[in-house]
Structure 1
Amino acid sequence: MLIDSAKTGELRLEQARWSLVPAWSDTFKLKYPTFSARAETLAAKSTWRKPLQAHRTIILARGFYEWTGEKGSKQPWFIHDPNAELLGLAGLYCWWPDRSKPDDDPHRWVLTAIILTFDAVQTLAGIHDRNPVRLPEHMWLHWLDPSPTGDQALVDDAVLAGIA
């Protein structure tokens, strides 16, 4: 994933664990799934509010899979853009502190991330009811910029840019 370093202002590529775990959580495994977040209600949810404000990321991917069919005979669909080398999917990240480890342990902090989703576009609605929010390249730096506080308007702009 691509993040803007608050300390240096430089972009960094980082590996992260899938499923965002908020820093305030006492446990790494939450009672509810956090592998994606609904863009439409993002700013209203306490789990996503803080990461949205200043911990936005772009998940780089060649594409993504959706599956259709019945259990045991599911059909994979690789969704990608043949005209783009990489997709930039809007996401959020959080550093989760493993409180069972000492403060000076380099493995104490775990980087976690999610992607944002929205209602499926017409061409993909038959495969899945939700799609990742895809950011066009011209919007990448705007999404990553930590100086404006992230809010629902920023998320709505990202969704609109991705379907335009």
Structure 2
Amino acid sequence: MCSRFSLDLDWDAIGADFKVEESDISTATLPSKTFVVKPKQNIGLIVETMDGTRHLRGANWSLIPRNSLTDNLYYKTHNARIESATKSPTYCESLDHMRAIIPASGYFEPHNRRPYYFHAPDDHVLALAGLYSWWRQTPSSPWKLTATIMTCAASGGTEKIHGRMPMLVSAGLRDLWLDPRQKGSEILERVHESAQRLSQRLQFHEVAHFSGDGPHIIQPINRESQASLF
């Protein structure tokens, strides 16, 4: 699972890193910097359309299937398990042709009711594998962009803290993952195998329970107990 993550990000830098033209960055829709974002809040999303154009814009973090009659679902959709996404009516359409990358500076997972923060060793941006959907309640309603984070079994040492983790997309597979002409169910295993290797480089440490917003949220409680995964 992943129900909290950090967005200590520069959106212009993210756009450049992910090959998004400046004119295709929807600055007004993107969230402000925050160190703990929760489901149903606004997040940043990188998508690619059939003509090869990439877009960076804000989205609601909880996917709403296109055929849903309401945005108030009785089940949670901020995460999609890779083990069942190919067969799930909620996610299968998005997995095939509406995949995304969700940038994050780090993410949180609980262990014995204590939160831990995971990040790259160089604090480089994490590319979380995501799915998206455009939804509107009626033909006259405005379209709403919604998204979910794909999760997989934890590996590379992260399972010491929690059994699940976001699936990471390596730099070498970004183009493949974002390409809507590629069928997601056919490339999922390849991206997953790469994510398992990538997870071995993650670092983590225990943090205090969330209070307010700011850099203090991601600071280790005790630096001497900080764990590293190499």
Q: Give the TM-score of the pair, scaled to structure 1.
A: 0.87
Whether 1:161 and 2:165 are equivalent positions in the alignment is no
* Partner of residue 75 from structure 2, selected from 29, 32, 36: 32
Whether 1:23 and 2:66 are equivalent positions in the alignment is yes
Structure 1 spans left out of the alignment, 5+ residues: none
Contact 1:39 1:156 in 2 (8 A): no
1:44 aligns to what? 87
Distance 2:192 2:123 in 1: 18
What aligned pairs does 1:102-117 form with structure 2 within 5 A after superposition?
103=140, 108-117=142-151
Write out the 4+ residue segments of structure 1 that deviate beyond 4 Å after TM superposition. Answer: none
Whether 1:58 and 2:91 are equivalent positions in the alignment is no
Deviates more, 1:118-127 or 1:25-34: 118-127
* Partner of residue 140 from structure 1, selected from 159, 163, 174: 174
2:153 aligns to what? 119
Q: Percent identity?
A: 33
2:18 aligns to what? none
- Structure scoring higher RCO (CA < 8 A, sep ≥ 6) equals 1
RMSD value, Cα: 1.5
Structure 2 spans left out of the alignment, 5+ residues: 1-44, 198-230
Matched residue pairs, number? 153
Distance 2:54 2:123 in 1: 21
Structure 2 residue matching 1:135: 3-state secondary structure: coil
Distance 1:44 1:29 in 2: 22
Contact 1:66 1:76 in 2 (8 A): yes
Distance 2:87 2:71 in 1: 23
Q: Deviations over 1:48-67 (max 9, x none)?
A: 11001110000111110112
